[in-house]
């Protein structure tokens, strides 16, 4: 029932741009963050050139155009799940997932929205469960205005904001994990996630799913998957594009890798510290960028194909389904708004939603001057920046108001380009001017302009009254109105939320998720007793435990969807060099801790002594013996130093005995793919048993393959190409022997030692597995109580269990 390892790269066996280690200089020279938030990608950098080589190989892998999600038959999912939806961002980011959550509820799933605390009422008013993950979206928006795409400018480093942002990300990562296994904060109802849906900026998704062994599905309004169709929304490639060295489609492909590497450079340490806190090994620096893409994580994009068609080079686990719309709420405008709407021609809507700007007065002055120049009336949304200006009979300042209703009343819209606001405007056929600040906003502005439904976007840093007035006048032309209406008509064919739920169901591993006894429930336990092996739901396990049919000691958490993150090696030279470099870096860190930890202990003890001395002076009592404190401090400092030395020794031994030999064995094993031969896979090493098994298989396969290749390759070459073919075949056979046999010899010891290392790590990483087991048992009991199965129904579960055991014994 184990899930086989996912392919190293969806749809391709070609090696990635491999570097021995992630040199900050390499990533630093790959792109510069500009004042407008765009990243000027340096297409002449070492990283860009390496990515370009892979892009050229990927050109061979175009995928057939899948059937439109709206026309695909919706899969039947009779297994009811606990689904946590993790969202980081503004209200506009949360709102589409509210509609998704309600649709999932209609299918019988239990849905928890995990996002910032400020949205609690918004979520609960939609009859969805809520869990706070921390983080302040207002601060996040303010940071993003200055540092679009999470990649900080130098000024941000100087101001110390990057540290604040990293602390906020760390808080949200921890909150996302707790949202998977913690009881409801209000009702105390137990909850353990069976599946995760998330937007990519929540960052914890894949790691939480790996810890729990459950499916994860990403959904987003912004292109996050490598494609040759258009560049990454945060990347500017035109400035450095030289068609003689790299064509546009290749540059588009490269831009995604550059942005991912730069993002990982800023957040990789934070994410790996989070992984350590939930007992997961660190993600290798070469695997962190594009991790979800490399693992083939299902992805659903929430935009209309009428506006941005699905790229042909995206594999089948990626869907484009349409924008997510909730039902337009009933809304009665206040009397003064109704009076304003009736007092003249339809106004222009101008609003920037949850954007927080440094100088709101300057922004509102620009807006008001532009409205006057354009000679129009306007409804101005106050938003999170609390925009408010001088009184004017042609201006109405509005607070919260449903866009679905409001946009039906206006002639055109001007906004920041958030996907939800963009979708609502186009759904109502309104020409649109986008004033982008960060993220996907410039992308949507470009797409609207390309469709003719609005002018070119105006970056907020370049916003002037004359430019905005000209853009508004463009939106009032018949051509812009016709283009917007055409998009609105095409969008009517999208099924949006319905298609997204179908996409989620379609990518679930349902065959592995069904309980052996109650197939309409998800399996969460693996029961093993001698030859008997079953997978059980929480309810089935609870009933069998209550009826003394199984012992809770004989059940373990069942990983429905194992996620394997491996440090891929592509040849022995770079593999060994990478492992050696990593060993050197870890030893340097351990050496520093040997000296710094005793100093830190000294400072801590001194601070405590000072505090106790101050307290004693105030109370008039005598302080403790100073010599005793000194001896205690010295002992703790010595202990900290010894602990650092132990870590140093362990790091050295692991590197020399495990990491470097394993890297060499893997490098030699995978080397044949460099000359077109697909290397054999012998399984994943997870403990000492699998290490011995893989090492043995690799030894037999490597030795046999190396010798056989010297015979079969020349013969095959001669049959295909005569004498020249035989010579080429002989060369391939010799190369095979030179790579397969060393892998076999080194791997005979390297793989078992790698497995022993994994077993030792697992023995110490028990906190999170124990927490998961406790949460599962707690939720199983609560779920069984909630179901209130009759005595007959419970006896039926026991009977099916006995029948299954009897059939296994036979």
- Mean pLDDT taken over the chain: 84
Q: Name which residue leads in pLDDT, 110 or 576.
A: 110
Task: Report the C-alpha gap between 20 and 18 in whole angstroms.
Answer: 7
Average pLDDT over residues 197-212: 95
User: How is 29-60 classified by DSSP, letter by letter?
Assistant: TTEEE-TTS-EEE-TTSHHHHHHHHHHHHHTT
Q: How many CA atoms lie within 13 A of 355 on its CB side?
A: 28
**So what's the pLDDT on residue 9?**
35
Average pLDDT over residues 252-257: 88
Please list the residues that pair with 31 across neighbouring strands. Answer: 41
Statement: residue 467 has pLDDT above 60: yes
Strand order in the sheet with 555-557: 532-537, 523-529, 555-557
* Nearest C-alpha neighbor of 753 from the set 666, 645, 606, 654: 654
Name the band, by pLDDT with cuts 50, 70 and 90, for residue 160.
low
Measured distance between the N- and C-terminal CA atoms of the chain, rounded to whole angstroms: 20
**So what's the pLDDT on residue 173?**
96
CA–CA distances in Å: residue 689 to residues 46, 210, 649, 693: 41, 21, 25, 6
Give tens-digit pLDDT for 638-647. 777 777 777 7
Give tens-digit pLDDT for 594-612. 777 787 777 777 776 665 5
Average pLDDT over residues 533-537: 92
Cβ neighbours, 10 Å, residue 301:
25
- The dihedrals phi and psi of 40, each to the nearest 5 degrees, come to -75, 100
State the residue for tokens 């995990």. 114
**Quick one: which H or E segment has residue 469?**
helix 465-475
User: How is 644-685 classified by DSSP, letter by letter?
Assistant: HHHHHHHHHHHIIIIIHHHHHHHHHHHGGGGGTPPPP-----
Task: Report the C-alpha gap between 673 and 662 in whole angstroms.
Answer: 18
Statement: residue 217 has pLDDT above 90: yes
Task: Report the C-alpha gap between 202 and 170 in whole angstroms.
Answer: 11
- Give percent of the chain above pLDDT 70: 85
Average pLDDT over residues 799-804: 92
**So what's the pLDDT on residue 600?**
76
Task: Report the C-alpha gap between 212 and 193 in whole angstroms.
Answer: 8
Whether 318 and 238 have beta carbons less than 8 Å apart is answered as no
* Nearest C-alpha neighbor of 697 from the set 658, 740, 647, 644: 740
**So what's the pLDDT on residue 14?**
37
Statement: residue 558 has pLDDT above 90: yes
CB neighbour burial string for 752-771, b if at least 16 within 10 angstroms, e if fewer:
bbbbbbbeeeeeeeeebeeb
> What is the bridge-based pairing of β-strands 82-86 and 318-320?
unpaired
CA–CA distances in Å: residue 24 to residues 28, 29, 283, 540, 580: 6, 9, 17, 52, 18
CA angle 659, 664, 669 (to 5 degrees): 125
Q: Give how far the C-alpha of residue 533 lies from the chain's centroid of Cα atoms, to the nearest Å.
A: 34
Query: Hey, what domains does the chain have and what are their CATH numbers?
Result: 24-56+78-297 (3.40.50), 335-500 (3.40.50.2000), 510-564+769-809 (no CATH), 572-765 (no CATH)
Question: What does the H/E/C string look like for 573-641?
Answer: HHHHHHHHHHHHHHHHHHHHHHHHHHHHHHHHHHHHHHHHHHHHHHHCCCCCCHHHHHHHHHHHHHHHH
**So what's the pLDDT on residue 566?**
83
User: How is 59-72 classified by DSSP, letter by letter?
Assistant: TT-PPPPPPPTTTS
Whether 777 and 552 have beta carbons less than 8 Å apart is answered as yes
Give tens-digit pLDDT for 90-146. 888 898 999 999 999 999 999 999 999 999 999 999 999 999 999 887 676 655 555
Residue 495 DSSP one-character state: -
Give tens-digit pLDDT for 726-780. 888 888 888 889 988 999 999 999 999 988 988 888 888 889 999 999 999 999 8
- The dihedrals phi and psi of 394, each to the nearest 5 degrees, come to -95, 5
Task: Report the C-alpha gap between 485 and 772 in whole angstroms.
Answer: 51
> What is the bridge-based pairing of β-strands 195-198 and 82-86?
parallel
Residues ≥6 apart with Cβ < 8 Å to 29: 42, 45, 46, 47
**So what's the pLDDT on residue 341?**
94
**So what's the pLDDT on residue 503?**
95
* Nearest C-alpha neighbor of 91 from the set 400, 388, 504: 400
**So what's the pLDDT on residue 239?**
61
Please list the residues that pair with 198 across neighbouring strands. Answer: 86, 218
Name the band, by pLDDT with cuts 50, 70 and 90, for residue 182.
very high
Statement: residue 590 has pLDDT above 90: no
Residue 810 DSSP one-character state: -
Q: Give how far the C-alpha of residue 370 lies from the chain's centroid of Cα atoms, to the nearest Å.
A: 40
Statement: residue 293 has pLDDT above 70: yes
Task: Report the C-alpha gap between 350 and 80 in whole angstroms.
Answer: 43
- Cut 0.75: pTM above it: yes
* Nearest C-alpha neighbor of 507 from the set 292, 218, 103, 113: 218
Question: What does the H/E/C string look like for 131-197?
Answer: EECCCCHHHHHHHHHHCHHHCCCHHHHHHCHHHHHHHHHHHHHHHHHHHHHCCCCCCCCCCCCCEEE
**So what's the pLDDT on residue 1?**
38
Average pLDDT over residues 482-488: 96
Task: Report the C-alpha gap between 253 and 247 in whole angstroms.
Answer: 10
Average pLDDT over residues 360-365: 88
Cβ-in-10-Å burial (0-12, 13-18, 19+) of 594 comes to middle
CA angle 238, 289, 301 (to 5 degrees): 75
């Amino acid at each position: 029932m184990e899930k086989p390892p996912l392919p190293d790269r969806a749809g391709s066996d070609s090696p990635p741009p491999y570097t021995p280690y992630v040199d900050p200089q390499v990533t630093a020279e790959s792109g510069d963050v500009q004042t407008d938030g765009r990243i000027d990608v340096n297409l002449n950098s070492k990283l860009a050139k390496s990515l370009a080589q892979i892009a050229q190989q990927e050109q061979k892998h175009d995928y057939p155009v899948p059937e439109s999600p709206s026309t695909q038959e919706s899969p039947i999912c009779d297994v009811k799940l606990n689904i946590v939806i993790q969202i980081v961002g503004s209200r506009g980011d949360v709102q589409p997932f509210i509609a998704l959550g309600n649709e999932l509820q209609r299918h019988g799933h239990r849905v928890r929205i995990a996002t910032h605390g400020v949205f609690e009422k918004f979520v609960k008013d939609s009859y969805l469960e809520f869990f706070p993950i921390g983080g302040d979206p207002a601060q996040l928006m303010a940071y993003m205005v200055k540092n679009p795409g999470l990649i900080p400018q130098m000024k941000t480093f100087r101001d110390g904001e990057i540290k604040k942002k990293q602390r906020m990300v760390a808080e949200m990562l921890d909150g996302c994990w707790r949202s998977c296994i913690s009881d409801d904060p209000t009702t105390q109802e137990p909850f353990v996630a069976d599946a995760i849906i998330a937007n990519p900026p929540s960052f914890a998704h894949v790691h939480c799913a790996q810890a729990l062994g459950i499916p994860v599905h990403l959904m987003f309004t912004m292109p996050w998957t490598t494609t040759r169709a258009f560049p990454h929304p945060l990347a500017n490639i035109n400035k450095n594009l030289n068609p003689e060295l790299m064509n546009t489609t290749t540059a588009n492909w490269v831009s995604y890798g550059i942005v991912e590497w730069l993002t990982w450079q800023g957040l990789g340490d934070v994410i790996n510290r989070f992984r350590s806190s939930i007992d997961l090994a660190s993600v290798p620096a070469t695997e962190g960028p594009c991790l979800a893409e490399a693992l083939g994580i299902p992805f659903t994009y929430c935009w209309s194909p009428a506006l941005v068609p699905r790229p042909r080079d995206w594999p089948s686990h990626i869907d484009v389904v349409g924008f997510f719309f909730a039902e337009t709420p009933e809304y009665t405008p206040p009397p003064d708004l109704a009076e304003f709407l009736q007092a003249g021609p339809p106004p222009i809507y101008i609003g920037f939603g949850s954007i927080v700007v440094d100088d709101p007065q300057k922004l509102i002055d620009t807006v008001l001057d532009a409205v006057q120049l354009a000679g129009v009336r306007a409804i101005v949304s106050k938003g999170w920046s609390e925009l408010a200006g001088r009184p004017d009979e042609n201006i109405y300042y509005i607070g919260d108001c449903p866009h679905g209703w409001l946009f039906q009343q206006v002639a055109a819209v001007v906004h920041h380009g958030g996907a939800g606001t963009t979708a609502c405007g186009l759904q109502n056929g309104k020409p649109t001017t986008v004033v982008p600040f960060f993220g996907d906003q410039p992308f949507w502005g470009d797409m609207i302009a390309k469709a003719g439904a609005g002018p070119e976007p105006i970056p907020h840093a370049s916003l002037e009254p004359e430019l905005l007035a000209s853009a508004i006048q463009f939106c009032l032309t018949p051509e812009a109105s016709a283009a917007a209406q055409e998009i609105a008509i095409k969008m009517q064919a999208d099924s949006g939320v319905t298609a997204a739920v179908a996409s989620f169901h379609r990518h679930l591993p349902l065959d592995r998720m069904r309980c052996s006894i109650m197939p309409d429930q998800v399996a969460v336990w693996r029961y093993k007793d001698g030859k008997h092996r079953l997978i059980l739901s929480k309810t089935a396990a609870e009933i069998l435990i209550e009826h003394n049919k199984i012992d809770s000691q004989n059940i373990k958490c069942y990983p429905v969807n194992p996620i394997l993150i491996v440090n891929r090696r592509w040849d022995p030279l770079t593999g060994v060099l990478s492992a050696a470099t990593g060993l050197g870096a870890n030893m340097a860190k351990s050496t520093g801790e040997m000296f710094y930890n005793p100093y830190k202990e000294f400072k801590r003890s001194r601070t405590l002594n000072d505090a106790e001395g101050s307290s004693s002076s105030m109370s008039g009592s005598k302080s403790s013996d100073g010599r005793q404190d000194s001896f205690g401090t010295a002992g703790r400092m010595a202990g900290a130093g010894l602990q650092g030395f132990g870590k140093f020794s362990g790091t050295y031994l692991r590197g020399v005995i495990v990491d470097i030999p394993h890297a060499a064995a893997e490098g030699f094993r995978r080397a044949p793919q460099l000359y077109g031969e697909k290397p054999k896979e012998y399984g994943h090493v997870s403990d000492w048993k699998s290490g011995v098994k893989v090492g043995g298989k690799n030894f037999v396969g490597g030795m046999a393959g190396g010798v056989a290749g010297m015979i079969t390759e020349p013969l095959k070459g001669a049959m295909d190409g005569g004498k020249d073919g035989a010579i080429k075949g002989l060369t391939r056979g010799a190369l095979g022997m030179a790579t397969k046999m060393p892998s076999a010899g080194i791997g005979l010891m390297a793989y078992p030692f790698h497995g022993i290392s994994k077993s030792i790590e697992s023995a110490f990483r028990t906190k999170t597995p124990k927490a998961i087991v406790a949460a599962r048992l707690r939720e199983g009991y609560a779920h069984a109580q909630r179901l209130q199965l009759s005595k007959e129904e419970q006896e039926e579960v026991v009977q099916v269990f006995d029948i299954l055991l009897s059939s296994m014994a036979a």
